[in-house]
Amino acid sequence: MLTRWGEPMVISGLNPYQMLWNILEIEEAIYRHGAIKGCSVFALLHARLAAFKVPSMIFIHDAPLPRLASGKLNKKRLKQQRSANTRGKKMSINYEGQVAIVTGAGVGLGRSHALGLAARGAKVVVNDLGKHGQNSAAALAVVDEIVAVGGEAIAHHANVANMAEVQDMVQQTMAKWGRIDILVNNAGILRDKSFGNMDISDFELVVQVHLMGAANCTKAVWDIMKDQEYGRIVMTSSSSGLYGNFGQANYGAAKMAVAGLMNTLCIEGHKYNIRVNCLAPTANTAMTENLIGDQRILDLMTPESVTAGLLALVCTDAPNRTILATGAGGYARTIVYETAGIYLSPEEQTPENVLANMDQISNPDNQTELTAGWMQTDKFVAKAAAALGVDLSKKD
């Protein structure tokens, strides 16, 4: 049943931004007073719901859609509002009963992540740096957005570089909800300058926020996740760390460091069902809008497109030890490979020979992904033993 013309149809129990994207076609027809080439709007509705196996006995209520001055649907704004990756299909990933902490969640990617998690049922702690122990207006606004559509959320002002404040955030979360299932380490800052012109204090500050902030928050929830034998943690890396960017030595160093942190934590957390991954995003946020001058490019780089990848990394079936690169609707995996390399006998082990053999050392044929540091040691030792006739299968 429909409440009035011109409003979207939302299944009871889902918030307004979880509804099937395809039903917007029908909503537009309703706005035009039901005229789709003579077909019944209700018939189209039931056909659309049936296609997605939604029960026919449903209650539908209203939720206003954003519109332009002309009265037409403002689809750009709607895309910003709706949760990521729900278009055209019934959602299968949800976080009902789970609690998530998202740092740096007042604006940009963090805000999008918080809204995306809440839209799929998670209770969310919206962390954003406050002043004088007070929550920021941005964090409170995100909480209001979540609560307004039936979700649960609280704000916290912790500076992630301050372990005492992080611990307070975690304690308040546990006091309210009794568990923490998801941690999204998203908080970050920029202090861009070429390395020669950079004050070392700016280098230290960026490393403190990005690396130590992620370490502080992860440490604060680690034992909780171990005890409950479940946890999903995401570090936010960057192409600036994975590949390098001029003027971002501090940022790049920190962003590569969190990938290293992930590499070890995913090993240590494996037996406790704690999975740790990295997100390497590119999006139109306050941190990037001044770096990219072309508005057409910025319009493609929506935070919501990145959030779709984030949600995949924190679900029950999430991978482990994955660096997911994402931006503008593109998704790729960054993998560190090591070439097969060469072996040099003791008398050949000179810098001249290493340099002379650099092409062979760099040959990508038979390169492999190493998933633990000891695998590199085993590879080199095996090459040396084979060359020198040492049988390592026999114990001394």
Instruction: Write out the catalytic residue numbers.
Output: 251
CB 233 within 8 A of CB 279: no
Distance between CA 122 and CA 303 in Å, rounded?
A: 19
CA distance 304 to 381: 47
3-class state of residue 73 by DSSP: strand
Q: Which whole-number Å values give the CA distances from 384 to 357, 366, 367, 389, in the listed order?
A: 17, 18, 18, 8
DSSP state of 212: I
Task: List the one residue out of 349, 355, 347 whose CA is nearest residue 380.
Answer: 349
Picking from 205, 188, 265, the residue whose alpha carbon sits closest to that of residue 232 is: 265
Task: State the sign of the Cα–Cα–Cα–Cα dihedral 131, 137, 138, 144.
Answer: positive
Only one residue has tokens 């230290």, namely 204
Task: State the Cα–Cα distance between residues 255 and 249, nearest whole angstrom.
Answer: 10
Q: Please tell me what DSSP assigns to residue 92.
A: -
| 39 Cβ contact list (under 8 Å, min separation 6) | none
CB 300 within 8 A of CB 286: no
Long-range contact pairs involving 314-320 (C-beta distance under 8 Å, separation at least 24): 314/95, 314/100, 314/117, 314/182, 314/184, 314/232, 314/234, 315/93, 315/95, 315/232, 317/93, 318/232, 318/275, 318/277, 319/275, 319/277, 320/266, 320/270, 320/275, 320/276, 320/277
DSSP states of 218-273 as a string?
HHHHHHHHHHHT-EEEEEE--HHHHT--TTBHHHHHHHHHHHHHHHHHHHHTGGGT
Contact 2, 9 (CB under 8 A): yes
